[in-house]
Amino acid sequence: MQQIVETGKSFGIRVMLEFDMPGHSRIWANGYPDLVIDCDLPGSQPLLDPTGPVYDVLDGLLSEFSGLQDSGYVHLGGDEVSSMACWEQSAKVQAFMKQEGLPAGNMTALREYFQYQVQLVVQKHGLASVFWQEVFEVGSKLLPTTVINSWGNNHSVVDVARAG
């Protein structure tokens, strides 16, 4: 990774880390199987477990990779969360939601909670978070330093700019 970063610098390119979450978690399960809530429901997708350990793992990864990138940003993905059924059917997740005072069964509120918590971890390292536009579109609470990476139509860019 250090070679990639140095090569990028030589061409005027800044390398940005991306830890895609809460979706795209099958790859996370290869190294951290306990971080994933998975289920066998048709059409469902595994998601990172929002109940705790993922925040410590992200903190550790950011500490480990802090010297390997110089962009000042960390991309947290947030895209392509097509189903939150695995969270919804998890007793562990439901108990966590109750403990945190999140509305029962409101997976959008849980997603917002999760994405805000990962922003706080990134901020702790003096970095700014970047998300794909879907995070903005679902109305997640964003820190003022958070950047939205828009890939869609011009309306999303205008909406993000208007929101500050």
Q: Does residue 117 fall inside a structural domain? A: yes
Which helix (H) or strand (E) element contains residue 47?
strand 47-48
Q: Domain holding 98: CATH number? A: 3.20.20.80
Please check whether residue 44 lies inside any domain of the structure.
yes
Domain count, the chain: 1
CA dist list (Å): 18 to 15, 73, 115, 132, 133: 10, 9, 14, 11, 15
Residue 159: the pLDDT is: 84
| pLDDT (0 to 100) of residue 163 | 84
What global pTM score does this model have? 0.90
In a domain, 1, yes or no: no
Q: Residue 98 is part of which domain span?
A: 14-163
CB 58 within 8 A of CB 2: no
Known catalytic residues are 80
d(CA 70, CA 120): 19
What is the rounded distance in angstroms from the CA atom of residue 36 to the CA atom of residue 38?
6
The answer to whether residue 4 sits within a structural domain is: no
Which residues of the chain have a pLDDT value below 50?
none
- Please indicate, yes or no, if residue 37 is contained in any of the structural domains: yes
pLDDT at 95: 96
